């Protein structure tokens, strides 16, 4: 039987993987292939005919205003007029939406406001045109779209993964809005009674951590349908947002120190985060880094298969080699991810990239650790240990890493005889 496939187009690997995963969750029998814009432009028309839909991510905030963001849509409609094209916009507004539809798109969504039920409703007739019905569409809707958690009012969706969703929510008993993470107990992921007990136990551990660089757990619980976890909400954005602009060496070291301190506390409580990345590191108005999203640490109730393209935990750029090899990571896996983040801050680029998951995974598992720019070369030895392929070759603990970082980044001072000498740690 021939596969039923859609095609996701964008240059950001993580973004197109997320959209592809959402399409597969909406229609489980639908396969999602993901390609870059250049690869799509070079695709022969006969290959394009093999897809039931095109999911095109469009950038409306391009710096080069001479480029028409909808040029690829218009060209595709001319070449393959029968191929349904769905546009997912970054930076668009109402005028962009209207122009997109007038240019021939079948539908339009802001990329961060895609509802699985809506996506299922438009894709289902393409997959099973004879059997498309309201019942089938309803069956494809994720039960997490509108969870009912007593005491909480959901304001908006912040993020989604294959196992959970995070909402901005309010609770009358709490003075500030919260980030409410919700996982359904039924459906694709079966949660046992032992899993529920572990969830409660680990939430209790997280609640007791009380560290300035770890998000406070404000509430947690289990209903008949959901597990939920309420954390602090940080409106200032994440380190991912901050890294859209260069950071200084001093900032990079300060951020890395704060992350290391949070990991030291977390690991001392025998909790491994498993999903350390810039989007899970929030910033406060006084430039503090706060570690959030313990979904992989205390709510990931099923082992993830990182060989698949719909990553359940982590992202390909920050995952440690042992996770790729389906080995259970310990705290040294978090330190590896910290090494990727630190390299990215110091170098202004990721250590391992590629056009496919296989290429990125090969970088993590077999490519030598890349060199930092000369301006940051003094941190190369630290990066080498953090990004070591084998856990045994990395820092044994976050504390050892922090000691090393403090030594390398210690300010220099002049000795009485005029020589430059490092500050001696007591």
pLDDT the model gives residue 421: 39
Fold of the domain built from segment(s) 4-140: Rossmann fold (3.40.50)
d(CA 280, CA 315): 11
Mean pLDDT for the chain?
Answer: 81
CATH annotation of 152-232 = 3.30.200.20
CB count, 10 Å around CB of 333?
A: 23
5, 34 contact by CB (below 8 A): no
- Torsion angles phi and psi, residue 337, rounded to 5: -60, -40
Q: Would you call 4 exposed, middle or buried from its count of C-beta atoms within 10 A (0-12, 13-18, 19+)?
A: middle
pLDDT the model gives residue 223: 84
pTM of the predicted protein model: 0.63
d(CA 359, CA 227): 36
- Evaluate whether 4-140 and 239-409 have a shared fold: no
d(CA 257, CA 390): 23
User: Which residues have C-beta within 8 Å of that of residue 56, sequence separation ≥ 6?
Assistant: 9, 10, 72, 73, 76, 85, 86, 87, 88, 105
> What DSSP string describes 91-136?
S--HHHHHHHHHTT-SEEEEGGG--HHHHHHHHHHHH-TTT--HHH
Give pLDDT tens digits for 251-297: 999 999 999 999 999 999 888 888 899 988 988 888 899 988 665 55
More confident residue, 416 or 401: 401
Q: Is 214 helix (H, G, I), strand (E, B) or coil?
A: strand
Radius of gyration of the chain (CA): 23
pLDDT the model gives residue 300: 36
Fold of the domain built from segment(s) 239-409: Transferase(Phosphotransferase); domain 1 (1.10.510)
DSSP state of 271: -
Band (pLDDT 50/70/90 cuts) for residue 140 is: very low
- As annotated, the active-site residues are 275
266, 170 contact by CB (below 8 A): no
What residue spans define the domains of the chain?
4-140, 152-232, 239-409
Q: Is 325 helix (H, G, I), strand (E, B) or coil?
A: coil
CA-nearest of 340, 290, 301, 288 to 318 is 340
User: Which residues have C-beta within 8 Å of that of residue 185, sequence separation ≥ 6?
Assistant: 191, 222, 224, 225, 226, 227
């Amino acid at each position: 039987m021939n596969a039923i496939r859609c095609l996701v187009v964008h240059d950001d690997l993580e973004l197109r993987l997320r959209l592809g995963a959402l399409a597969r969750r909406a229609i489980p029998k639908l396969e999602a292939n993901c390609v870059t814009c250049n690869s799509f432009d070079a695709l022969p028309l006969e290959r394009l005919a093999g897809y039931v839909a095109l999911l095109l991510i469009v950038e409306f905030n391009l710096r080069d205003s001479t480029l028409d963001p909808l040029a690829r849509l218009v060209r595709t409609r001319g070449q393959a007029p029968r191929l349904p094209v769905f546009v997912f916009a970054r930076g668009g507004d109402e005028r962009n939406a209207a122009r997109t539809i007038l240019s021939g798109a079948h539908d339009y969504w802001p990329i961060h406001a895609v509802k699985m039920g809506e996506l299922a409703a438009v894709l289902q007739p393409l997959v099973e045109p004879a059997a498309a019905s309201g019942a089938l569409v309803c069956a494809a809707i994720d039960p997490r779209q509108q969870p009912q958690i007593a005491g909480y009012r959901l304001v908006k969706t912040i993020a989604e993964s294959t196992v959970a969703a995070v909402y901005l929510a309010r609770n009358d008993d709490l003075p500030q809005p919260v980030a409410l993470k919700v996982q359904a107990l039924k459906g694709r992921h079966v949660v046992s009674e032992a899993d529920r007990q572990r969830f409660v136990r680990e939430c209790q551990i997280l609640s007791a951590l009380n560290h300035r660089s770890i998000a406070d757990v404000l509430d947690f619980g289990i209903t008949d349908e959901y597990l939920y976890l309420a954390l602090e909400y940080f409106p200032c954005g994440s380190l991912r947002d901050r890294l859209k602009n260069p950071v200084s060496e001093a900032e990079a070291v300060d951020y890395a120190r704060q992350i290391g301190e949070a990991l030291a506390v977390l690991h001392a409580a025998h909790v491994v985060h498993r999903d350390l990345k810039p989007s899970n590191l929030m910033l406060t108005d006084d430039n503090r880094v706060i570690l959030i999203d313990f979904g992989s640490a205390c709510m990931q109730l099923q082992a993830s298969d990182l060989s698949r393209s719909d990553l359940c935990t982590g992202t390909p750029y920050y995952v440690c080699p042992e996770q790729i090899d389906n080995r259970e990571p310990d705290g040294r896996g978090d330190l590896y991810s910290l090494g990727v983040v630190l390299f990215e801050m110091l170098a202004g680029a990721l250590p391992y990239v590629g056009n496919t998951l296989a290429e990125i995974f090969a970088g993590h598992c077999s490519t030598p650790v890349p060199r930092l720019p000369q301006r940051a070369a003094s941190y190369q030895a630290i990066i080498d240990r953090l990004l070591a392929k084998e856990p045994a070759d990395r820092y044994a603990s976050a504390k050892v890493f922090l000691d090393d970082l403090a030594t390398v980044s210690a300010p220099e001072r002049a000795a009485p005889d005029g020589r430059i000498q490092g500050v001696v740690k007591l």
